[in-house]
Chains A and B, each alone.
Chain A
């Protein structure tokens, strides 16, 4: 389970969103209930500017585990926010299931080690 840097310990209840691949984050978002997404959005949105300011001072590569988990949480927030702000639902009503789909976000995933996490 993810553990975030101590400044962001208040976000530990969202540790299960620190997922290493876009496919995993997308799948978790579209599978989540609407109340779950809204409560995650409401709790995370006010903290993202601080989290991104923290991450903007750190390299994209070779992060320590806690920083990497925080970064992965921001990537899940991108999914959550897109659904909440654009669809007002976990997913677009006619979007295909992630089960029928593969996604590779090449520069971010293919070349970086954390996607090989067990």
Chain B
């Protein structure tokens, strides 16, 4: 028998039996998980101070600032911090507070653009793309102005696989490369840079950030909650292991990956599915189905090791779901103990429709994914409100919900009493 490839947690002989995943990680425990931590405002503050203020947060992709001079702005919802991410003339991507050194007006009001200088609209102080103060209007009428010290306030900013991340700690404990190291080998050959943004969803999700993230860390709910959307081809309860049992689940330091199977047997096409297929470019429709049908994911290292759909959940605020020829990017921005801004983006091969009927096919093809997002975003507040009743003090994790146990564990470690 050949040796399992790097990274595979070789499955036991029979799937869908016992605690095959949980048994491998005794460090995570096997007890029901208390929900008190989701309800306690002090715990939420600790999570924000000790995690969101001190670790690397994804804020975007390099395609949003592709050339020197390109920039985009963004308010980090968790802290209401306005940032500029700018591709400098020297090629370096940096982040700054969008705050002028003079009277603290924003130095740009644009959502994105291309510029050589940011000129504050209040009194026209100007900054270059490296953040240096290049012009202080009426400099001679200020007392002891030291322009060299009055550049834009930097925010630590590094790039991993084209994902731009910032760290609000002025002296980050680790580099982004170190933070991502345990997950890095598995996606090194995935061509993130060949895809472009195809759709964006964002929702005010009225739930704790870990409630929001939980649904994206287990595939078990898919044939149940999403039976009308992406799981139309699944039958809950039948052929369970083949439809939702991850082929692999691996803890990667503070991150984790689930390798999910694609749908094994697709249902007969619905009338309008057939109509869309008739007029649409097939490659743009139903990436999940394509992955399963063609085994296309196996051209990449993660696909060979983890399965047709690779769900990489990166600590603390983002995850990517990789398909055979596209991917999705999600970000989680806690706003309060009971509210999270949840963003989802679809990245696909750049494609412009060649005729007006293809617009119909492309639009129809996007609805299942969008409404799946809406179903999750509608389910989270139902869980949150029920937790707040304290009718139940714990949740119970299925073997396939190991990743939820792992996130609880990482948060507990990061917010332990000795952590400040």
Question: Which residues of A pack against B, CB within 8 Å?
Answer: 22, 26, 45, 48-49, 52-53, 55-60, 63, 67, 71, 74-75, 77-79, 81-82, 85-87, 92, 94-97, 100-108
**A45, A57, A58, A78: which contacts B363 (Cβ < 8 A)?**
A78
B382, CB-defined interface residue at 8 Å: yes
Per the bound structure, the CA–CA distance linking A12 and B197 in Å amounts to: 35
- Give B350-385 as 1s and 0s: 1 = Cβ < 8 Å from A's Cβ atoms: 111111111110111011101100110111011000
Contact in complex: B367, A79 (CB < 8 Å)? yes
Contact in complex: B366, A94 (CB < 8 Å)? no
Main secondary structure on A side of the interface with B: helix
B374 contacts across to A, CB distance below 8 A:
92, 95-96, 101
B229, CB-defined interface residue at 8 Å: yes
- The 27 listed contacts between A and B (C-beta, < 8 Å) are A22-B366, A45-B272, A52-B360, A53-B357, A55-B355, A55-B357, A56-B355, A58-B355, A58-B356, A59-B354, A71-B359, A74-B359, A77-B272, A78-B276, A86-B229, A86-B232, A86-B270, A86-B368, A92-B228, A94-B379, A94-B382, A96-B375, A96-B377, A100-B206, A106-B197, A107-B198, A107-B353
A105 contacts across to B, CB distance below 8 A:
198-199, 363, 366
Question: Which residues of B pack against A, CB within 8 Å?
Answer: 197-206, 225, 228-229, 232, 270-272, 275-276, 278-279, 350-360, 362-364, 366-368, 370-371, 374-375, 377-379, 381-382
Residue of A nearest to B365 (CB): A78
Contact in complex: B355, A101 (CB < 8 Å)? no
Contact in complex: B363, A22 (CB < 8 Å)? yes
**A63, A79, A85: which contacts B271 (Cβ < 8 A)?**
A85
A95 contacts across to B, CB distance below 8 A:
371, 374-375, 377-378
B366 contacts across to A, CB distance below 8 A:
22, 105
Instruction: Check A60/B229 contact, CB under 8 A, given A95-B375, A104-B199.
Output: no
B202 contacts across to A, CB distance below 8 A:
101-102
How far is the CB of A101 from the nearest CB of chain B, in Å?
5
